[in-house]
Structure 1
């Protein structure tokens, strides 16, 4: 099956994509393009899937670089292919021929590019990482390589939308403690529950950091099981595990 890849005009002509679950070698609850070796999927199937993603970007599997994601605000600089994954949630590089990748299944995958400076970045931005500053850390890392955040484009890929992201009052408290104006990213849900706008919050943080352009592809991972894996949906359906979607950009 042909891969289904979502692209963004702001990142063109760089080779990039928010890969959906279609076109992979995995089966069962992982059916499709599960690219997460941290899942309980067969290692061989995940390796095949990652190779297909690398091929689509025009790089070898060794040049498709990722990190050991831990919901942090840490960004790491990539200088060569075959780098062993470090604990971080964002990557930046100025080396041509490398593809930076992150995995997500409801969290925000964010791809960055400063076309003029020749610097790219990728971030895995869940609620905790976004609140702690992973997007700003990515911009800082890119600037250390010569980028200008005012010339940088960031695109948030498929992630969970507000209508499907129900949270408790203690979750709201964390955001209000950070900044009272964060209340605008919450809507009333059922009972004492709230609905959190993760991509709206991500766009706010990017724009407040001075980025030149920030957009969201407006795809909800929870709402479309045919195209996307979703951690929250798999939990609600009591599945044993869930696939991870890969998003990547190549310089």
Structure 2
């Protein structure tokens, strides 16, 4: 199991994961609000190009070229970013700082140990139901990465034991994980509740279950072929740790914490 460490910048703590140790990265807490990636990047790397999007709870994943093509003055709508591929010129490839924000949704940071490429993904239940993390990995594969070279850290988010959702929401996520995705919502949920390492838990309220979105993303990664040693989930819940994290489910306020990762130069493949 990967270890998670608290680091300090400007007298405040942010979280890092040992799996992503080769890359400057961080899952920032509410104490850094209202700073933005344009400021926070300095805590990770000097002179890194900041990449961010207008998040819309979908599964669109963009490259820096996509961002450059956006209408001037408007932020591109997406929920994921990948860095420039290894075939790009060095001056365009290195030091790209990719950022996503979240309150209860899952921030997912991905690194490729061979190429140095990275991805940052905002995976709420809607994005997870649309398999946004596999979509991001598919885009990385299109640029030449190998699944065995990837490491993935899923940051602080609302934990399954406190995230009550309707059966239709649970089924929308569950259809990415079961073989009979065409079944009824109740059948999908029932199958997942009986499965090992399920992202669902039963709830006493009729028509409700508890959903662990981070575990659902981990299951999607397992289905892609990533080993458990390639994926880490932060041991922190945004809902249950109000001193450290904003939680929309807890307060109803639209405040966020940022998570970012900086690409690095490629290493020679074995």
**1:163 deviation in Å?**
1.4
Give me the whole-angstrom Cα distance separating, in 1, the residues matched to 2:245 and 2:136.
25
Residue number among 235, 245, 258 corresponding to 1:228 in the alignment: 245
Deviation at 1:211, TM superposition (A): 2.6
Structure 1's 2 and 83: CA in aligned 2 closer, same or farther, altered over 3 A? Answer: farther
Alpha-carbon distance in structure 2 between the residues aligned to 1:175 and 1:74? 17
Task: Select between 119-128 and 161-170 the one with higher mean Cα deviation.
Answer: 161-170
Give the counterpart of 1:63 among 49, 55, 58: 49
Counterpart Cα distance in 1 of 2:61 and 2:41 = 22
Q: How does 1:107-186 map to 2 (within 5 A)?
A: 107-175=105-173, 179=178, 180=188, 181-183=191-193, 184-186=198-200
In 1, Cα distance between equivalents of 2:239 and 2:213: 13
CA gap of 1:56–1:127, structure 2 versus 1, over 3 A, is: same
- Tell me by how many angstroms 1:57 deviates: 1.4
* Alignment-derived partner of residue 199 in structure 1: 214
Deviations 1:190-209 (A, max 9, x none): 32121111111111011111
Q: Point out 4+ residue stretches in structure 1 off by more than 4 angstroms.
A: 79-84, 175-178
1:242, distance to aligned residue in structure 2 (A): 2.9
> Can you give the 5+ residue segments of structure 1 that lack an aligned partner in the other structure?
25-32, 35-45, 236-240
Offset, 1:51: 3.7
Q: Deviations over 1:146-188 (max 9, x none)?
A: 2112210011000000111011233234345553343432212
Native 8 Å contact 2:238 2:245 kept in 1: yes
Which residue is 1:54 aligned to?
41
Secondary structure of the corresponding residue to residue 41 of structure 2? helix
- Taking only aligned residues, the RMSD between alpha carbons, in angstroms, comes to 2.2
Q: 1:19 maps to what in 2?
A: 28
**Structure 2 residue aligned with 1:188:** 202
Q: How does 1:72-111 map to 2 (within 5 A)?
A: 72-79=58-65, 85-94=75-84, 95-111=93-109
Contact 1:106–1:231 (8 Å) recurs in 2: yes
Could you tell me the TM-score, scaled by structure 1's length? 0.81
Q: Across the two proteins, how many residue pairs are aligned to each other?
A: 223
Cα 1:175–1:137 change in 2 (3 A) is closer
Q: TM-score, normalised by structure 2?
A: 0.76
